[in-house]
Amino acid sequence: MDFEAKNFPKRHGKRKPGEGALERRSKMDKLMGSMDILIAMAQVNPHVGALEGNLERLLAAARRARGLGAELCVFPELALTGYPPEDLLLKPLFLERLEEVERRFRQGLASIGIAAVYGSPRRAPGGLRNAAVLTEGGRELGWAGKHRLPNYGVFDEWRYFEPESRFEPLTWRGVKWGLTICEDIWHAGAPSSALAAAGARVLLNLNASPYHIGKHREREEMVARRAVETGLPVLYVNQVGGQDELVFDGGSFALNPPAVPGGEPEIAARMALFEEGVAVVRLRIEEGAPARFLPQPAPEREEAPREIYRALCLGLRDYVDKNGFSGVVLGLSGGVDSALTAAIAVDALGPERVHALMMPSAHTAQESLDDAADCARRMGIPLAQTPIGPMQERFHQVLEEAFPGLMAGVTEENVQPRIRATLLMALSNRRGWLLVTTGNKSEVSTGYATLYGDMAGGFSVLKDLLKEEVYRLCEARNAWAEVEGQEPPIPRRVIDKPPSAELRPGQQDTDSLPPYPVLDPILRLYVEEERSPEEIAALGFDRETVIRVARLVDGNEYKRRQACPGVRITRRAFGKDRRYPITNGFRAG
């Protein structure tokens, strides 16, 4: 969302020799008893640890902001280091290099001719601070430390930072600015109210706020509460991009407090989700009146399926690109999970960077072969076929020699996905492609996957998506294609047929698991909401089924601990969010 400087009203006045535009405007503002300041929200996508690259990215955004007429450019939390930098903050060499990069950043901003507020760590008495820094003309004018350090879910800031207890606005252009950082704005009282009491006219809130479904609405509601509480306008600037399992969705905005007592707060400007960009807002400062952002058109928020889909695409794309992979490879089985994973990969990276392998065994149906080929054709990706029958037979011979007289069972079934994983990893090693796994959250939760088999890989796109949500996203993706006059990427038959791992004759998922319409609601309650089996059964679910599911979840922590990272889209994903011991004698069921 960019707004050209020419779209803003021009000021008129006789120019004096040697007088610059900012000086002329400042004099006119004083005569009129008001002042307008053009502020840029720089919604950037930093790369954790890539200090030089982040320096160039931030300076490019600052140049764009200056070209749009902005005088002040506001960047996200820890924008120079990327977020979360984790134990890089414990490495003295990293902090030393950061200080040099930060010095060059301030010089670059001075050359561009723009002031800035940006996030960076600060060494201070008592320990490291997560800071918001104000700079102009190559000089640091001051900084404010983060007071509320989150230490829950995916956050671990008490490990690295000390909380700030000073709440003093910083003065720039004769205006007192209250600088807050991310979690600070989520709490009533200090620091927001303390800054307002100290004379701040505006709150600038720097963020690295990760995505989960509906998070942008929660942010706007929370910031609205702070605006009502303090009576101050708030500029909320969030980063965008993928970092390991986290996705940052941007969605920066400017919000005004109610214009009259009892009124509603106002979204004055809003940036798009999941996209880098620079947007300029005009802040009006008038004597005897509250500061306000002048309203401008703002994009509407998207429906949940498209929001989720874009989060998955961004998470995959940034994991591939920031880690230097040339593309991805996946096993395309003819099933719904691999079809959706392939569609997301194509939309995220382009078909030329997506490679698929079909590895049929004696139990693979001809329908699955045909469906995999149809998927690949629709998506425009190459599909190689490597039958695993001969390798599978040789494994069985060796196992029979090692364990004579034992009946075939799960051991022999699991040989198949482990052979497939070996072939896929060979392609990954040889070609430099990232192996993307295709399992979903229902399977990850219950352990319905083969360790060192279909769980093997570098990244999981569907790790936080329950099976029923996989179906809904397939339907949505096909519907978007039809609206655009394109062939749906996922064949109807792939969506309609009963899911099966095809590791033995006639196998279906319901042989081992409750039907997904029963399983998924139980998993949502047990995993994401931490409800007890008795509480879940009281909601109308069969008690024995609930206990069975709880035991599957609890008994498969050892598998999940060895699984690859995947995109987080819920409040409670497997990974940083949920840290249960592997050796654990407690059984909820």
H/E element, 293: strand 292-293
Give strand ranges (E) for 216-263: 234-238, 240-243, 246-249, 253-256
Catalytic (active site) residue 176: no
SS3 labels along 320-349: HHHCCCCEEEEECCCCHHHHHHHHHHHHHH
**Residues whose CB falls within 8 Å of the CB of residue 4, separated by 6 or more in sequence, listed in order:** 68
Beta partners for residue 433, in sequence order: 327
CA distance 238 to 271: 10
CA distance 204 to 177: 7
Burial label for 166, CB within 10 Å (0-12, 13-18, 19+), is exposed
Q: Which strand ranges, in their side-by-side order, compose the sheet holding 292-293?
A: 139-145, 127-136, 115-124, 72-74, 34-43, 277-286, 292-293
Residue type, 588: A
Residues 258-283 as b/e (b if ≥16 CB within 10 A, e otherwise) read eeeeeeebbbbbbbbbbbbbbbbbbb
DSSP strand pairing (115-124 vs 72-74): parallel
CA-nearest of 200, 176, 222, 236 to 42 is 236
User: Of 146, 215, 467, 559, which residue is the catalytic one?
Assistant: 146
What does the DSSP assignment read for 26-80? HHHHHHHTEEEEEEEEEE----TT-HHHHHHHHHHHHHHHHHTT-SEEE--TTTT
Q: Could you tell me the two tokens for 541?
A: 């679910």
Catalytic (active site) residue 16: no
User: Of 182, 375, 474, 564, which residue is the catalytic one?
Assistant: 182
CA distance 420 to 204: 52
Catalytic (active site) residue 14: no
User: Of 77, 413, 468, 469, which residue is the catalytic one?
Assistant: 77
- Map tokens 């819920």 to a residue: 570
Catalytic residues, by residue number, are: 77, 146, 182
